[in-house]
Structure 1
Amino acid sequence: MPTLILVRHGRSTANTAGVLAGRAPGVALDERGARQAAALPARLAGIPVATVVSSPLQRCRETVAPLLAARPGLPSHTEERIQECDYGDWSGRKLSELSDEPLMAVVQQHPSAVTFPGGESMRGMQARAVDAVRDWNDRIEAAYGTDAVYLMCSHGDIIKSLVADALGLHLDLFQRITVAPCSVTAIRYTAVRPVLLRLGDTGELGALAPREDRAADASPDTAVGGGAGAP
């Protein structure tokens, strides 16, 4: 079965503003996110990507645009099932405000029990994303063969939930996974099991270095939506 390259969209204006974007329209890449997207073709040089599949949201479409421009004729598709979680009434709110919501503790510790007010459940989010990958695996294999490689551009919580599925982790453990903006995660699907090849690879190690400002924003929790990555 195919190898799937999962790319989280580049850093967005919502990431830098500390806002949970969800599916709100008009959330674009910021300047750093645009540079991250521009570097993606070089990072993927030599990898025979058969098809690009993107979330319909603007920040994902902007992320794959340089890759599509660098590879004229590369097929591309939009897939609704890999778009951002529907955070409902939480969408567009500051993460600093949401941290005081009682539901946030459940999001961090027991996400399989969470349904966002006016939105979807995290179980439903994972299920639709996994179904999308399984369907695309079959389509790509039928069109390009068992050794094909294809790319999906999606969102932090979506990618984390797909990694959890690939590793056989319960959804309640997925907050232990981090994928930075424009990071590359790769999963090879076989007849008997998925194999995680890369996780959140950005080609840089700056996020591991101590930061003078870390005490100000340190938190034991994982940012809903995936966070803004290293400064």
Structure 2
Amino acid sequence: MTTTFFLLRHAAHDDVGRYLAGRAPNVSLGPAGRAQARRLGERMCREDFVAIYSSPRERTAQTARAVSLHSEIGPVELRDELDEIDFGPWSGKTFVELNQDPAWRDWNSRRAVAVTPTGESMQDVCGRVCACMADLRKRHAGEGVVLVSHAEVIKSAVCHVLGLTADGGFRFDIEPASISVVAMGDWGAKLLRLNEGV
């Protein structure tokens, strides 16, 4: 039986694109992000799903709650496997600051082999998100589920489905509050939609 995964990136926080939020605490949605999450929740009412899982970060949990509120499906279950990449001391730094760090530049040119300061690699990220999806496929055989996560985590899952290395993630975007859809069954997995905006 096929399980359909709706991979949602969280709505935008106020300073998205200016600094690396990572796992920094207290990064929540501002007024624009909350409006974006509300539109995403309204859009997801057109889809068929039975459960919502979220990264534990505040911005993802807020986005997941908006989807839960509009769909009347809940409660939202937090899953560590959906968490943002562990960027360690890079979290909270502006991209201007980060671009002066050779290790950051290496991360952004050789994503398939580089690691963050904590040692997490994209292979590690792919392993955890794909293990989560495999577990949820057993729990929700023949059903649809929502996973609310982060851009690079979603990219790693999409690259895995498409048979790409992590460097393949440089070839497409996962925008805030976007929807990507993957179907998984005993036959394998396929990408149905990528980066649909609201």
- Give the TM-score of the pair, scaled to structure 2: 0.93
Partner of 1:27: 27
Q: CA deviation at 1:172?
A: 2.3
1:175 to 164, 170, 179: 170
The AA in structure 2 aligned to 1:33 is G
Partner of 1:3: 4
Q: CA deviation at 1:119?
A: 4.8
Secondary structure, in 3 states, of the residue corresponding to 2:50?
strand
Give distance in 2, aligned partners of 1:63 and 1:193: 29
After superposition, give the CA deviation of every residue in 1:26-45 in whole Å (9 maximum; x if it has no partner).
00012221111111232122
User: What is the count of residue pairs matched by the alignment?
Assistant: 197
Partner of 2:59: 59
Paired residues of 2:5 and 2:183 also in contact (CA < 8 A): yes
After superposition, give the CA deviation of every residue in 1:132-155 in whole Å (9 maximum; x if it has no partner).
1111111111xxxx2x11100000
- Give the TM-score of the pair, scaled to structure 1: 0.80
The AA in structure 1 aligned to 2:187 is V
Pairing 1:99-138 to 2, within 5 Å after superposition: 99-138=99-138
2:187 to 192, 197, 200: 192
Q: CA deviation at 1:59?
A: 0.1
Secondary structure, in 3 states, of the residue corresponding to 2:159?
helix
Partner of 2:197: 202
Secondary structure, in 3 states, of the residue corresponding to 2:112?
helix
RMSD: 1.5
Q: CA deviation at 1:192?
A: 2.0
The AA in structure 1 aligned to 2:160 is D
Structure 2: tracts of 5 or more residues without a match: none
Residues 157, 73 of structure 1: CA spacing in aligned structure 2 closer, same or farther, 3 A cutoff? Answer: closer
Matched, 1:71 2:66: no
Give distance in 2, aligned partners of 1:127 and 1:14: 29
The AA in structure 2 aligned to 1:9 is H
Secondary structure, in 3 states, of the residue corresponding to 1:62?
helix
Partner of 1:40: 40
**Max Rg structure:** 1
Structure 1: tracts of 5 or more residues without a match: 204-231
Percent sequence identity is 29
The AA in structure 2 aligned to 1:54 is S
Give distance in 2, aligned partners of 1:46 and 1:90: 38
Give distance in 1, aligned partners of 2:161 and 2:73: 31
After superposition, give the CA deviation of every residue in 1:16-69 in whole Å (9 maximum; x if it has no partner).
5x1111111100012221111111232122322110000011001111212222
Paired residues of 2:44 and 2:71 also in contact (CA < 8 A): no
Paired residues of 2:11 and 2:176 also in contact (CA < 8 A): yes
